[in-house]
A and B are shown apart, each in its own frame.
Chain A
Amino acid sequence: MLNAEQLDPEGMQMADTQPTIIAPALIICCSALLREILDFCKLNHWSHFEVQTITAELHNRPEKIPAAVKQLIDAGKQRGQQIFVGYADCGTGGLLDALLSQENVERIPGAHCYEFYAGAEQFAGFQEQQLGTFYLTDFLVRHFDRLVIRGLGLDRKPELLPVYFGNYRKLLYIAQSDDQKLQLQAQLAAEKLGLDYQYEYSGSGGLGHALSSFNRQIAVQLVQ
């Protein structure tokens, strides 16, 4: 994980020198990333970001994500904010990219959060190693019962478990934090789904890199 010393000082400098005339930069993100983004900003002493979230439940209807993101982009642009989108493609099938290209706004590279946390190359390795891997992040472990068990209706219809997970073999927990309690919860989740369990620590991974890149970018723009 990056730390404050590794980041560019210019963005901080500009935020400090012109705090009253520049609106805080806006990060529009899936609520699944909120905790990690806030932690990362805090760790790096970034107080010049405003974070707005869209519910993670939209992942069950990804076609609705672009419209929700656009609404927040429009509002942010009206306030004159620099904007970054804290989403991967997230199942929008390129629709989010089409919107962001029109709006000239960047997002986190990658297809899904578990991919950018792990890193594209590492993730490709996981996929190759075991087709049929179900991925969890810290957020998904915390909200496993709500998003997976209740979200898929498995609380009401447990007989659907093989329909959903019959082709899966392994649950891989890609962890952002080193938290024993979450590791235990992830193991229990694997047991519930009847899958083998594997743990990998990623830290903030590609999310951290993307945020740092955005931070540098707005610092450069402010200097210019």
Chain B
Amino acid sequence: MNNFGVLPMSEEIYDDEDLDLSTLADDELVEQMHDDLYDGMRDEIIEGTNILLGRGWSPDKVLNTALVGGMTIVGVDFRDGILFVPEVLSAAGAMKGGMAILRPLLAETGAESVGKMVIGTVKGDIHDIGKNLVAMMMEGAGFEVIDLGINIPVETYLAALEEHKPDILGMSALLTTTMPYMKVVIDTMVEQGLREDYIVLVGGAPLNQEFGDAVGADGYCRDAAIAVEMAKEMVAQRRAA
């Protein structure tokens, strides 16, 4: 309690602990889930996801309306400098909670994926925060994502391309010392005549458009939201061609 005696009244009015999500109408619940995602409240997102499914919402409707819709707000506020990395990571953690419920249900529905992506952090680099955000947002947008993990050598990338035949290869790096490895992978793809078979997207904190162009990528993704937009557009163009 502070010296002004204000806190008890505020708690009485704004305390969300007593909020019963199941009493909210659908649109109110979705709005509340957007707020909960924004605040990184994983348990509430899991609860909200289950409630909407229990009301007969399809898994993809829950995913797009409640989760992706909420993460889009998070992404915009991050881009505008209103939210920072810790808040985005908490939001992503909350979304993962909802995704864990929806993923098997989405698989059961057999909905055709928007596209397929193989993604990994390049050899010598163990940083995966950005890669994981991209993988999650891509999955949320309806892509099938094969996440190879960290410290990935060219041989593993190529084997994954051969095995999964994705539309997109995504590579991430956080270090200026490791990002040149993206060129090693792309050059090897060129040497083996594979380059034109895939869309190559690159991203990571020290990268920029010039670097993306220099290594021969199809796109440089400044953040996860841009990665999703770019991936959708490029896959659609490729399929239309």
Contacts and interface: CB of A to CB of B under 8 A. Distances in A.
Nearest to A115: B177
Contacts of B12: none
B183 interface: no
Nearest to B179: A93
A163 interface: yes
A22 to B, nearest CB: 35
B86 A131 contact: no
B87 to A, nearest CB: 7
Contacts of B89: 157, 160, 163
Interface stretch (B124-132, B164-172, B229-237): B124-132
A93 B208 CA distance: 7
Contacts, number: 59
A33 to B, nearest CB: 18
Interface of A: 62-63, 89, 91-95, 98, 111-112, 115, 127, 131-132, 152-154, 156-157, 159-160, 163-164, 167-168
B206 A91 contact: yes
Which of A94, A95, A98, A132 counts the most B-chain CB atoms under 10 A from its CB?
Answer: A94
Q: Which 10 A-B pairs give the minimum distances between C-beta atoms?
A: A153-B86, A93-B206, A167-B126, A111-B176, A91-B206, A132-B126, A89-B176, A111-B177, A157-B86, A93-B208
Contacts of A164: 129
Given A62-B206, A93-B207, A94-B210, A127 B86 contact: no
- Interface of A, helix, strand, loop or mixed by DSSP: loop
Contacts of A153: 84-87
B64 interface: no
A110 to B, nearest CB: 9
A169 to B, nearest CB: 9
Contacts of A168: 126
A167 B128 contact: yes
Contacts of B210: 94, 98
A42 B179 CA distance: 38
A186 B40 CA distance: 31
A92 B208 CA distance: 9
Chain B contact-residue range equals 20 to 34
Contact of B86 (A94, A95, A156): A156
Interface in B7-24: none
A94 B210 CA distance: 9
Which of A154, A157, A167 counts the most B-chain CB atoms under 10 A from its CB?
Answer: A167
Interface in B26-57: 40
Contacts of A127: 124, 177
Contacts of A91: 176, 205-206
Given A91-B176, A167-B128, A160 B86 contact: yes
Contact of B211 (A93, A132, A154): A93
B189 interface: no
B154 interface: no
Contacts of B186: none
B175 interface: yes
Contacts of A62: 205-206
Interface string B81-110: 000111101100100000000000000000
